[in-house]
Amino acid sequence: MSNVTFPPLKNDLILRAARGQHTERAPVWVMRQAGRYLPEFRELRQKYDFFRLCQTPELATQVTLQPIDRYPDLIDAAIIFSDILVIPQAMGMEVLMNPGPVFTKPLDVPEDMHALQTDGIKERLQYVFDAISLTRTRLAGRVPLIGFCGAPWTLMSYMIEGGASKTLQKSKTWLFKYPEQSKALLQVLTTACIEFLVGQVEAGAQLLQVFDSNGGDLSPHDFAQFSLPLPRVLRRRSPPQANYDTVGLDWTVDPRDSSIPRDVALQGNLDPTVLYGGRGAIEQEVKRMCAEFRAARPTTGWIANLGHGITPGVDPDDLEWFFQCVHKYSSLDSK
């Protein structure tokens, strides 16, 4: 456990919403809010390799705080600057950012799993925990800090595909051709994810997000078999602070859908491309989104966000307008 005493929290809006409590307005943050669309980040990237930024706590803290400093009183959470692929890296796989992630030696057959280093993963990720503790201190209680990891299935697909893939042909082939070996790999990754998330809470993370970006590429049957187990295990093995109580929706899902469980808070879900549409379009779509989420959760909390990560070409001023519109249209007295 961290022995650091952190400053008291001044804005707990997102914590209350994530617990399902009714809030005076929707808390808001965006995925990848610390990153390529910010000129101050691009300036740092001219000096440092991407993973050098992740692996140097002082630099990771600096990047994490950039959007919080740029948009004071508009963002309700910071998310630690890192990457979901730090777990495969800690297992001995080389990952380059060129410009997207590339594995120099992906897993081709199940026998390749023997080369994975499954002991000492948490220790090799100490730099993330150090960055979290440092960031909590530097935030000075302005907003809560989110920790995260990639879900096992998403990590597995990257490790097999060797990078991003639109079809996931290689990794999905493993599920059908090598089902037992696939489950064994997913179990190894699940254990690593849980230890990583627990370590983040111990270091000072106040919320945790599990990104299963590739979960939607599985059939409902395969999702239940290969993707869903992590949140169930996480509830059993993590500290109380890490309960898996909020579900993020992308822009293809209507939050009013009756099939969405009622006992979870919701997060989402503006299409990131709307941020290129100009201020009129942004305001119109945020107003619509807020109305839908308010209808879906009239007596409990929800968290405003994009349906996926912000993309590099967004004008930072247009993102600021998005935040301002969320504040306006998600408030209790908005029309």
- Which residue numbers are catalytic? 32, 36, 45, 83, 158
Please say whether the beta carbons of 103 and 157 come within 8 A: no
Two structure tokens written together for 246: 């909020």
Residue 97's Cα: distance from chain center in Å?
18
Two structure tokens written together for 286: 């945020």
Please say whether the beta carbons of 95 and 101 come within 8 A: yes
Residue of 34, 71, 31 lying closest to 53 (CA atoms):
34
Q: Per residue in 56-87, is it b (16+ CB within 10 Å) or e — as a string?
A: bbebbbbbbbbbbebbeebbbbbbbbbbbbbb
How many angstroms separate the CA atoms of 171 and 169, rounded?
A: 6
Give the largest CA-CA distance in the chain: 60
Please say whether the beta carbons of 30 and 36 come within 8 A: no
- If residue 147 lies in a helix (H) or strand (E), which one and from where to where? strand 145-150
Two structure tokens written together for 39: 């000129």
Please say whether the beta carbons of 251 and 270 come within 8 A: yes
How many angstroms separate the CA atoms of 265 and 247, rounded?
A: 6
